[in-house]
Structure 1
């Protein structure tokens, strides 16, 4: 199940043999397994023979940054990363056992995400680029959120979609019209530490009822883009949002802004999967 070269590279890095392995879901990008090592450690292992192996290097950095925020959100520890001789990148991290949500789980999660977002930076961006899914994510720093959103989030993904003929020049014109209005749409806030890819498939509650986050695309951005993303594919309850608002209220009018923020993940999904995501993008930008 695990490629022989990955197994060999992993065992050398961790100085332990793989005793057992069980295939688990790794999402739409990677292959994954739950493994037990000869030293009794439980690991979550994922690998990819098609993506840039640096993707896992950047993921480790993102997980470390989230762990450094020192909230009650559980972030898995990375045990090792590597690249095999035949170019397969892999990452082995702490295995977290999923539990069952309790009556106050969502409230705790909302509070702790608010705490994460209160970790601030001087500029929007990050000191290195990383990935969202398997696509490059540019994090060049900007003093302005509007500038960062346009230059580092919209333009790279929009150009990729146009080059692949998934969106046409009419969509580009609507985006350019939208850019002119953004200074009057986005409320001003200082940059917050973001998970960056927060949807229902990238968190769960562990056996101690703690919220666990994984598969990040970390940067410092406007926290509203993170909250908007949580609305896109479901998986978050009203109690989660009420708790977040109680601990770190949003500016009025967020419901009217969230579709604009979600152009970023929708463009990413357009470039990864095409289809209905391109139509969703077009329906939003046609307002401008």
Structure 2
């Protein structure tokens, strides 16, 4: 439960943000998130979804997530929860979005999902990155603009996480040297592609079936990147139905050799997990590095 002080401050902050008097009738805890406290907020204006976290530890996390949701919504190709408000109540940072009701998957759910992601990836810009850094999980994600994907991937993704893991003693010097050597080879490993709008953390835990039977995606780590990153991410932690991949490939075929680059693209999320959780992720990262 949310304590009464936070509830009053949250109601006041939401009233100010939304320019309407908000009364929180009930906050029902929802389990499943690893990083944030999550709730179903029942208010006089309807039910909303609430995330809470430490305002000092992650001062701009929810601002960045709010912006990422807006970026995906502007593409207007796939359902995304509408972000309503973000801010600080007491010592807690908050994000309030539309509450998503779950439905039953339509017979063509996976085909429709793949087509929507393919259309999302057609949204492009002149550089890889984003206007500012954001987060993947609780780890800062750097989005310094580069026109070269290999340079972006090396300097904004792999090397910052390698340094973090090495400093935490979750990566040894031999693995660090191996990763640095691979970063130098990235220009020869990746085919050239225009920057694509990516959800950035698209796995089975970050979508649900909406009431219309179609996919709705949430918890983004948005940036403009190489679209093979997105497809490789979907293959981790259980993967998607094979119909998703067949349909995507039929609509927007990946460059030849994409199968050999799956591990290379999965290095980033695996290193995120190595930094967050340690353990067996060391062996997962090592296996990928040895296979490149």
1:133 Cα deviation (Å)?
0.5
* Gap runs ≥5 in structure 2: 16-20
Aligned equivalents of 2:171, 2:87: Cα separation in 1 = 36
Residue matched to 2:10 = 10
Residue matched to 1:131 = 135
Once the two structures are superposed, the pairs formed by residues 5-44 of structure 1 within 5 Å of their partners are: 5-12=5-12, 13-14=14-15, 15-39=21-45, 41-44=46-49
Report the 3-state secondary structure (helix = DSSP H, G, I; strand = E; otherwise coil) of the residue aligned with 1:91: strand
Contact 1:35–1:44 (Cα < 8 Å) also in 2: yes
* Gap runs ≥5 in structure 1: none
Query: Mean Cα displacement is larger for which, 121-130 or 4-13?
Result: 4-13
Report the 3-state secondary structure (helix = DSSP H, G, I; strand = E; otherwise coil) of the residue aligned with 1:46: strand
Query: Mean Cα displacement is larger for which, 10-19 or 167-176?
Result: 10-19
Residue matched to 2:193 = 189
Residue matched to 1:69 = 75
Aligned equivalents of 2:272, 2:129: Cα separation in 1 = 18
Within the candidate set 63, 70, 79, 2:84 is matched to 79
Aligned equivalents of 1:235, 1:217: Cα separation in 2 = 18
1:225 maps onto 2:212 in alignment: no
Task: Give me the TM-score of the superposition, normalised by structure 2.
Answer: 0.94
1:159 maps onto 2:128 in alignment: no
Report the 3-state secondary structure (helix = DSSP H, G, I; strand = E; otherwise coil) of the residue aligned with 1:44: strand
Aligned equivalents of 1:3, 1:274: Cα separation in 2 = 33
Contact 2:170–2:282 (Cα < 8 Å) also in 1: yes
1:26 Cα deviation (Å)?
4.5
1:232 Cα deviation (Å)?
1.0
Residue matched to 2:173 = 169
- CA-to-partner distance for each residue in 1:84-112, whole Å, 9 max, x for gaps? 23x21111110010112122000000000
Task: Give me the TM-score of the superposition, normalised by structure 1.
Answer: 0.96
1:148 maps onto 2:152 in alignment: yes
1:67–1:169 distance in 2 versus 1, CA, 3 Å: same
Total equivalences in the alignment: 285
Aligned equivalents of 2:32, 2:51: Cα separation in 1 = 7
1:58 maps onto 2:81 in alignment: no
Q: Structure 1: which 4+ aligned runs deviate by more than 3 Å?
A: 3-6
